[in-house]
Each structure stands twice: as structure tokens, then as C-alpha cells.
A and B are shown apart, each in its own frame.
Chain A
Amino acid sequence: MSFLWSVFKGIFSVTFVQKAITQGVPMLFGATGEIITEKSGNLNLGIPGIMYMGAIGGLAGAFLYENGNEAPNGFLGILCAIFFCLLFSLLGAMIYSVLTITLRANQNVTGLALTTFGVGFGNFLGGSFSKITGTAGQITVYNTGQAFRAKIPYLSDHLGIVGSLFFSYGFLTYLSIIIALLATWFLLRTRAGLNLRAVGENAAAADAASINVTKYKYLATCIGGMISGLGGLYFVMEYLGGTWQNNGFGDRGWLAVALVIFALWKPARAIWGSFLFGGLYILFAYVPLSQSMQEIFKMLPYAVTILVLVISSLQRKKENQPPASLGLPYFREER
């Protein structure tokens, strides 16, 4: 009983919820970006790599800004970080787009290669920056990091438990939710969203309906990649506080891809899904178990994903299936 009680106490604490959300945010960015991408029929398995690229991009941007200024301003640091984060993730997404859309390379191979590339790219630049900066062998952008970490003033410390649960996060947390909600609205309510879903379902039918399939695929993959990149930025700025740690981002990128399946390709569902995944991801630390048993607990998000996959496949509800032409290239003059 005392064992269960300690688990119970751990999970229903404010810190656990806060930490779960903190872990969930990068996955939510990644999943929203990947959902937008997959809705165009592109299975971008390069997302984990793109998140690394976004992370190092943002960090490099902020570092260049802070390094050249006597008294760096946190707000300008944020702008620089976001700009370079988006730029670097766009670069990653463009590599994927050109290869799979224009050159029609195999999507799985391209995606996996891009992830390998992106992780190496991030670690290489991050490691090099740390070497160059000299002091303590760590790159830091303190001012920008603190600006990213700034909580909502007043609300976060005047509302007691409500304040700590809902208002004690940096702005990227709220941005991730807003983007996910906007993405849902975009996909379901706008003409462009309808067209995008059509491209992912049946590109030939979309083409016949005068939709520019190539344009939609490029835009969805690039915008999706940039949204995912913000997840990497969140990790280096808010989670780590403006520094680099080789392989620090770990397998969160793959969890984001798993979250897409868990969310059944619905961004709004990915919001609570990401918090659940975040909770499952750190659950091991709240369960008094031996080291080896903890490793089994780290498996939970993946186990849940498999469960959802099994259930949604058994249901056979067409609305809950992946986009029908996911992974397939489109070539109009194919006979």
C-alpha cells in the first residue's frame, strides 16, 4: 500500500503536472508539425532531426546576438533565436521536400537519413560552439534563456495552485497549444485545409480538382518542419535555460512521431496527448523502483502508442486512419 500511496502522491502533485507539461511541449510542437506534413501525404521521419536543427539554429542565433552585445536584451534575443530556429528547420524540411517531392526519392529512407543528419548537425555545431566559448566548455545564452523562461507575471504567483498549474510556463508553452488549435481549425474549416487533406488522401483526385499538389506538399512540409523546429528551440531555451547538451534532446523527436499516431492525426488531440506522453515519459522518476525497472517504465509512451494503433486499426473507422496516400510520391503523367 505504501508503494501505491507514494506513486499516487507523486503523480497528483503540482510538480509532476508541471514537469509533464514541460516534457510534453516539445512533443506537441513536433507532432503538430508532423501532422501538417503528413496531411499532405509526406511521412517525414526526419522530424526528430529537424528538431535538432531548429534547436541548434535558435541557440546559434541567440549566441551570435548575445556575443556581439555588451548588454543583451532578452526580447531581441528571443527574436533572433526564433528567426534562426525557423530558418534552420526550414533548411531541413527543404532538403526533405526537394528529395521526396521533386526528385521523388523514397520518403522513409530520406526521412531516416535526415534524422541522422540533423542529430549530427546539431551535436557538431553545439559541441563546436561549446569549445569556442571557452569558459567551462559550455555555450550559454543566459539572457535569452531567461527571457524564454519568463512566466506570466502576476497570474503565476497570485492564484495559488491554479497559478502554478496554468500560468507558470514560458510563452512557447502557450504558443504550442495555440498553434495546435489553429492547425485543427485550419484543417477542418478552411478551403486550404480541405485542399491539403485532399492532397494527402488522394493526390490524383486533388490534382484533377485543380489543386496544385506540389505547392501544397512543399508548403505543408516546410511549415510543418518549422513548427517542429520550435519544439527543439523550446528544449534548449526553456528546458535547458539556453545551453547545449549533446544528445540532450534524446528520443523526444520519435515520441513526437508516435504522438501523431496516438492523436489519430488530429492536432487538438495531440495537446492532451502530449501532456499524457510527458507524464508517462517521467513517470519512472516518481515510482520507487530499481534502475532496471525504471527502463521498462520509460517504454510506456511507446506501449500506449502501440495500443492506440491496435485499437484504431480494429475499429476501422475511416476517419481515424492515416492519410490514404501517406508515403506515396505523386507523378501526374504516370501511366
Chain B
Amino acid sequence: MTENAIELKGICKYFGIVAANEDVSLTVRKGEILSLLGENGSGKTTLMNMLSGIYYPDSGQIFVDGKEVTIRSPKDAYALGIGMIHQHFKLIDLFTAAENIILGMDGKSPVINMKEVLEDISKLTDRYGFQLDLNKKVYDMSVSEKQTVEIVKMLYRGANLLILDEPTAVLTPQETDHLFEVLRKMREDGKAIIIITHKLHEVLAISDRVSILRKGRYIGTVDTKDATALSLTEMMVGEKVALNIDRPEPKHPKKCLEVKNLTCRNKYGVKALDSVSFTAMGGEILGIAGIAGSGQKELLETIAGLQDGEGSILFTDPDSGKEEELIGMDPLKIQKMGVSLAFVPEDRLGMGLVGDMGMPGNMMVRSYRSGHSALLEQKKPRELSEQIKNDLGVITPSIHYPVRRLSGGNVQKILVGREIANTPKLLMTAYAVRGLDINTSYSIYHLLNEQKEQGVAVIYVGEDLDVLLELSDRILVLCGGKISGIVDARTTTKEEVGLLMTKHGEEA
């Protein structure tokens, strides 16, 4: 009897000629939480997908409980007690929690006996203290509830090794704490847990050991108690990095955007934003915090003219002092009015860029109206692409390579680079560093700070409170479409912001 739950030896996986994993070896013991750390594109998710049967390794060996195994499909993985909770939940929206949990399983009979199923699952949820309404449809659930369904689904299948891919990316601090409690309970129960995350303080808080990957290769494993945020980052990046975000004092802040009583309804007629009022200043970074879906997306899209709203959005040009009302305008009208506003949306490849085009094509999406001839102006976009590639360090085989195939960090650099190239007065970013590794994240923060120093009003919607607290000058907290508070980022605490994020229906 070995105490290793899983052992990987010399795993390689190639996508075409790109090596996603090269000679990776890794061990997870029973009753421990292992963090898997690495930059974007370092092959963490690919490696885990080979354990869960989504991909098949090109070479290498996998041992479960000391025996060599072959995992060709998710079914094989379940049979070996391996369960993976993906970053994007693999749930059927239309089904209830219980239906999702039993999905794909063989029962005693081909006909479903719902009563028996519910009893079985309840036993399990009681044991670990999950709060879950088994008859609730997934489309009515919050992110954290969906995650609970995924975890219960894996436990119900008898998973002894649980893999969680960035489980905290969409949770509030309170929900994260609750998740960690559950994970610790499972660890006591003898289960092995692998957690993939970018957030170093979480790695330090939850895991027993940390394994690090860099560019698809295994770098090493350290005991968490011997590690610090800095030492882990160095292993991850391969060089020394400074983990401080600069925050220069705002210089001559000028009013740039004044939003008054902005109300916006979603397509179901529900108020997504409810009388929101605030001012954004040029030369300042205004952070926006809130649980996912609290109205952040609607706020930015209404300002950018992509959604209708009621109220007032007054844009003041910091240089000329000219004022323009943006409510009821579409992006083209806003551009024609001479309001220079840039928006980096959350959905980079959906709203931001065209995945199948290369960089110059994507530059033209923003500028194709500027030429005077019937033919497209090709040269400038090409020059701009080269410039962005060099200045921001975009890693791509060629500027004409489809951006869809680039890693998340490079895609974001292209998008931010294009928006900044238009010298905006107001720059809005939604989850600008979501899914990006530390190095790329810091270069994005740096870019935002540069814009701030040039007098641009930056609105930064973020999800990592530590970053919001370090980067922003002021933080606006949204909760259920209302402003639950605007605080000074230099003096506030994480707890204060966390509480505001869940404070419903009170006066702003």
C-alpha cells in the first residue's frame, strides 16, 4: 500500500508542433492538497485534462495507487476515482442539480428512481455540510452553487482525487473561505486534492505542497510552509520579479465622466443597474468591485453605448472642457461626437477581437472607417500591429497569425494595445487580467498606470480584491446593481470591501 494517490511520470503532450507538456512528473499523496502553479500556457490545465480523460498523453506513464493505468476517456477517469472540476463548469443548464449529478451514470435500473437518487445524494451532502437544493435548475443557480453541484457530482461518483481548475476565480472572499473549509474536510477524509490557481495567497493558505510548471515543463515541488509568494513567483517565472504594483498619486484629477441615476434593465426586464451615480476623474484609476453579475458588465456597456439605459452619463473632455451626454448613443455616434473612449470587454474573443483574423485585421476593426478610398488602408494597421507586438511583447509566430490561437495573455495585450493606441480620454476594462499569469498581469497593470499618468480616466473592473486594493485610487463596490459604497483604496481593507460586496439594498 503506497500513500501516493497519483503519480505522473514523463508525461508529454503536443498540439501539432506545440509542446503543451514535456516530460512532466508529479506526485499527489492521499490526504493532501497540492497546488499546481504556473503561468498561462504553462500546461497546467492540459496536464490535468490528461488525468480526467479529456486528452490522451502522447507519452509517459500514470500510476493510480501504485498501479500503472491508461485513461482514455472521462469514464476511465471516474472508474479510477479521478474527478475534475473545470474552470468552465460542465453542467447542463436545463437540468436540476440532481439530474446533473447522476448524468452519465449507470443505475440499478435504466429507469430513474428520483426519490432514491435524492436520498443517496442527500446522505453525501449532509456528510460534508454542503448547502444544496437538489431540485433547483442550474440556470437559476449562482456560480458558487454551480461549483457545489460539480463537487458533489464528483464525490457521488466516488472520486478520491479531486482536481479543481481555478475554483476561486469567480467566488467572493466569503465563498472562497467556505470552499476551502469543504476542501479541508475532504482532505481529513483522506481524499487527494489538486488545485490550480493563480492567486498566490490562496496557494499559501490552502495547500500542503506546491508543484510548479513553466512552459510545459515540471520545475519542482516545495512544501508550502517553506515557500513565500516571492519564492513561488520566481520558480514560476524563472527570474526575479517585483511583486509590487505602483500607485502614483493622481496628478491634477479633472472630472471626466459623471454618471447620475443610471438605471438599466436586462433583456428580462429586471433592473441590472439601479440608480447608479458616481464620478470618474482623469488621472485616476477607479476600481469596481462586486460579485460576478452585480451589474459591472451593464455599467460599462451602457457607458460605451452598447446597452440602453435611463439617467445621465455626462462626458467632459478634460482638455477642452466640452461636455457631451452619452445616454441613448451608440458606439458610432459616440465616436463621431469626438468622445474618445476605449472599452476592453470581458469577452475578449467575442466582443473584443475577431478570433480568426490576425493582428492587422483586428486593428482595422477599429479604424476601417478612417480611410478615404474604397480600398482598405493596410499599411497603418500593419505598422500598429508590429508596434504593439514589439512594445507589449506579444508572442506570436507572425502578426498575421489568427489571434484565436494565441494564449489569453497575448490576446489581452493585443486588445489593450489597440484600445490604448487610440489615445482615449476614458479607458474602461472588464476583468483585464482574468486568466492571465502574474507576469502578464503586471505588464497590464503597468500599462493602466501609464494611461493614468497621462491623465486618462481609467475604470478597472476587477475580481481580485488584493489587486483592486493595490492598483485603484478609489473603489466603487456594486451589489445587486446598486452602489453599496465608494471607498478610498488607500485606507480601506479587504474585509470592508468584501462586506460591501454582499450588502444588499442599502443607501449608497
Residue A201 at the chain B interface, CB threshold 8 Å: yes
Give CA–CA (A209, B105) in the complex, Å: 8
Q: Are A324 and B94 in contact (CB under 8 A)?
A: yes
CB within 8 Å for A198 and B111 given contacts A191-B105, A332-B54: no
- Contacts between the two chains (Cβ within 8 Å), count: 83
Q: Are B111 and A190 in contact (CB under 8 A)?
A: yes
Listed residue (A191, A198, A209, A333) with the most chain B CB atoms within 10 angstroms of its CB: A209
CB distance from A188 to the nearest CB of B (A): 9
Q: Are B103 and A211 in contact (CB under 8 A)?
A: yes
Q: Are B94 and A201 in contact (CB under 8 A)?
A: yes
Residue A195 at the chain B interface, CB threshold 8 Å: yes
- Please provide the chain A residues from 214 to 247 with a CB less than 8 Å away from any CB of chain B in the complex: none
CB distance from A314 to the nearest CB of B (A): 12
Give CA–CA (A212, B72) in the complex, Å: 12
Q: Are B74 and A209 in contact (CB under 8 A)?
A: yes
Q: Are A210 and B94 in contact (CB under 8 A)?
A: no
- Please provide the chain A residues from 185 to 207 with a CB less than 8 Å away from any CB of chain B in the complex: 189-192, 194-195, 197-198, 201-202, 204-207
- Please provide the chain A residues from 116 to 130 with a CB less than 8 Å away from any CB of chain B in the complex: none
CB within 8 Å for A202 and B52 given contacts A189-B112, A195-B104: no
Q: Are A194 and B93 in contact (CB under 8 A)?
A: no
Count residues on chain B whose CB falls below 8 Å from chain A CBs: 35
Q: Are A205 and B91 in contact (CB under 8 A)?
A: yes
Instruction: Name the A residues within 8 Å of B74 (CB-CB).
Output: 207-210
Q: Are B139 and A318 in contact (CB under 8 A)?
A: yes
CB within 8 Å for A189 and B111 given contacts A198-B95, A208-B74, A333-B55: yes
- Please provide the chain B residues from 88 to 114 with a CB less than 8 Å away from any CB of chain A in the complex: 89-95, 99-100, 102-107, 110-112
Q: Are A201 and B92 in contact (CB under 8 A)?
A: yes
Residue of A nearest to B46 (CB): A335
CB within 8 Å for A206 and B112 given contacts A324-B93, A332-B54: no
Q: Are B110 and A192 in contact (CB under 8 A)?
A: yes
Q: Are A194 and B112 in contact (CB under 8 A)?
A: yes
Contact partner of B52 (CB less than 8 A), chosen from A208, A316, A324, is A208
- Please provide the chain B residues from 442 to 477 with a CB less than 8 Å away from any CB of chain A in the complex: none
CB distance from B87 to the nearest CB of A (A): 12
Q: Are A210 and B75 in contact (CB under 8 A)?
A: yes
CB within 8 Å for A194 and B99 given contacts A316-B268, A318-B139: yes
Contact pattern, A 302-331, Cβ under 8 Å of B = 1, otherwise 0: 000000000000001011000010000000
Instruction: Name the A residues within 8 Å of B73 (CB-CB).
Output: 210, 212
Instruction: Name the B residues within 8 Å of A211 (CB-CB).
Output: 103-104
Contact partner of B110 (CB less than 8 A), chosen from A191, A207, A319, A324, is A191
CB distance from B132 to the nearest CB of A (A): 17
Give CA–CA (A98, B104) in the complex, Å: 24
CB distance from B18 to the nearest CB of A (A): 10
Contact partner of B92 (CB less than 8 A), chosen from A190, A192, A205, A210, is A205
Contact partner of A191 (CB less than 8 A), chosen from B52, B84, B89, B106, is B106
Instruction: Name the A residues within 8 Å of B102 (CB-CB).
Output: 191, 194
- Please provide the chain B residues from 330 to 388 with a CB less than 8 Å away from any CB of chain A in the complex: none
Contact partner of B93 (CB less than 8 A), chosen from A202, A208, A212, A333, is A202
Residue B315 at the chain A interface, CB threshold 8 Å: no
Instruction: Name the A residues within 8 Å of B405 (CB-CB).
Output: 335
- Please provide the chain B residues from 117 to 140 with a CB less than 8 Å away from any CB of chain A in the complex: 137, 139
CB within 8 Å for A318 and B112 given contacts A198-B104, A209-B74: no
Q: Are A206 and B94 in contact (CB under 8 A)?
A: no
Give CA–CA (A201, B104) in the complex, Å: 14
Residue B431 at the chain A interface, CB threshold 8 Å: no
Instruction: Name the B residues within 8 Å of A194 (CB-CB).
Output: 95, 99, 102-103, 112
Instruction: Name the A residues within 8 Å of B86 (CB-CB).
Output: 208
Contact partner of A319 (CB less than 8 A), chosen from B78, B94, B99, is B94
Give CA–CA (A189, B103) in the complex, Å: 13
Q: Are B104 and A209 in contact (CB under 8 A)?
A: yes
Residue of B nearest to A316 (CB): B268
Contact partner of B104 (CB less than 8 A), chosen from A206, A319, A324, is A206
Instruction: Name the B residues within 8 Å of A198 (CB-CB).
Output: 92, 95, 103-104
Q: Are B93 and A201 in contact (CB under 8 A)?
A: yes
Residue of A nearest to B88 (CB): A204
Give CA–CA (A209, B268) in the complex, Å: 31
CB distance from B317 to the nearest CB of A (A): 41
Q: Are A191 and B92 in contact (CB under 8 A)?
A: no
Instruction: Name the A residues within 8 Å of B15 (CB-CB).
Output: 335
Instruction: Name the A residues within 8 Å of B54 (CB-CB).
Output: 207-208, 332
Instruction: Name the B residues within 8 Å of A332 (CB-CB).
Output: 54
Instruction: Name the B residues within 8 Å of A209 (CB-CB).
Output: 74, 90, 100, 103-104, 153
Give CA–CA (A211, B102) in the complex, Å: 11
Instruction: Name the B residues within 8 Å of A207 (CB-CB).
Output: 54, 74, 90
Contact pattern, B 3-22, Cβ under 8 Å of A = 1, otherwise 0: 00000000000010000000
CB distance from A320 to the nearest CB of B (A): 11
Q: Are B93 and A318 in contact (CB under 8 A)?
A: yes
Give CA–CA (A194, B95) in the complex, Å: 9
Contact pattern, A 157-200, Cβ under 8 Å of B = 1, otherwise 0: 00000000000000000000000000000000111101101100
Q: Are B90 and A205 in contact (CB under 8 A)?
A: yes
Give CA–CA (A316, B267) in the complex, Å: 10
Residue of A nearest to B73 (CB): A210
Give CA–CA (A63, B392) in the complex, Å: 75
Instruction: Name the B residues within 8 Å of A324 (CB-CB).
Output: 93-94
Instruction: Name the B residues within 8 Å of A333 (CB-CB).
Output: 55
Instruction: Name the B residues within 8 Å of A206 (CB-CB).
Output: 92, 103-104
Instruction: Name the A residues within 8 Å of B92 (CB-CB).
Output: 197-198, 201-202, 205-206
Contact partner of A190 (CB less than 8 A), chosen from B55, B99, B100, B112, is B112
Instruction: Name the A residues within 8 Å of B55 (CB-CB).
Output: 333
CB distance from A313 to the nearest CB of B (A): 12
Give CA–CA (A205, B112) in the complex, Å: 20
Give CA–CA (A184, B77) in the complex, Å: 32
Q: Are A190 and B90 in contact (CB under 8 A)?
A: no
Give CA–CA (A335, B406) in the complex, Å: 10
Give CA–CA (A207, B78) in the complex, Å: 12
Give CA–CA (A333, B84) in the complex, Å: 16
Other A-B contacts than A202-B91, A316-B268, 8 sampled, CB-CB below 8 A, are A197-B92, A204-B90, A205-B103, A206-B104, A209-B74, A209-B103, A210-B75, A335-B15
Q: Which 9 A-B pairs have the closest CB atoms?
A: A209-B104, A210-B75, A208-B90, A205-B90, A211-B104, A209-B103, A210-B74, A210-B104, A201-B92
User: What are 14 A-to-B residue pairs whose CB atoms are below 8 Å?
Assistant: A189-B111, A190-B112, A191-B105, A191-B106, A191-B107, A197-B95, A201-B94, A204-B90, A208-B84, A209-B74, A212-B73, A316-B268, A324-B94, A332-B54
Residues of B within 8 A of A (CB): 15, 52-55, 73-75, 77-78, 84, 86, 89-95, 99-100, 102-107, 110-112, 137, 139, 153, 268, 405
